């Protein structure tokens, strides 16, 4: 009869494969295209975080300062959640944390959120 430790060690590779495979598969098979160009009226964007689910983007606005982030975690691509009460993005897969303006707080992600290029013209935010 195997000890509990041996059983654990025997199952560990399968557990690790599952932990790594899920976010990779989710990124490859279920991620939406963020390359599409579109625009949003600035009057529809309040200060704070606005999630554009269709394009997997977050818009951060603080007065005149605007940033647009890819909603995919920079670790393995899971879609981040924003927690208003904590003012943080937290990855549901391996719990990387990012500030409201996209800076990495703790890993396993090793870099800040990816910024998306945009321009503002006639009170509209053009993304892409």
CB of 95 to ligand FES, least distance (A): 6
Question: How many whole angstroms separate alpha carbon 5 and alpha carbon 46?
Answer: 53
Question: How many whole angstroms separate alpha carbon 95 and alpha carbon 127?
Answer: 28
Instruction: CB nearer to ligand FES: give 56 or 96.
Output: 96
Instruction: CB nearer to ligand FES: give 11 or 25.
Output: 25
Provide the 10 A C-beta neighbour count for residue 2.
Answer: 9
CB of 16 to ligand FES, least distance (A): 13
Binding footprint of ligand FES on the chain (CB under 6 A): 23, 73, 75-78, 91, 93-94, 96, 108-109
CB of 52 to ligand FES, least distance (A): 19
Find the DSSP H helices in 1-128. Answer: 4-30
Strand 38-41 relative to strand 48-52, pairing: unpaired
């Amino acid at each position: 009869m195997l000890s509990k430790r041996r059983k654990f060690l025997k199952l560990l590779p399968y557990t690790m494969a599952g932990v790594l495979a899920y976010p990779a598969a989710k990124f490859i098979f279920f991620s939406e295209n963020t390359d599409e160009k579109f625009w949003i009226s600035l009057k529809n964007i309040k200060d704070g975080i606005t999630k554009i689910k269709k394009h997997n983007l977050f818009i951060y606005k603080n007065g005149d300062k605007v940033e647009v982030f890819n909603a995919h975690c920079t670790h393995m691509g899971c879609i981040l959640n924003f927690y208003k009460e904590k003012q943080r993005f937290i990855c549901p897969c391996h719990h990387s944390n990012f500030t409201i303006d996209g800076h990495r707080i703790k890993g396993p992600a090793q870099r800040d959120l990816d910024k998306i290029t945009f321009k503002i013209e006639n009170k509209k935010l053009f993304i892409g």
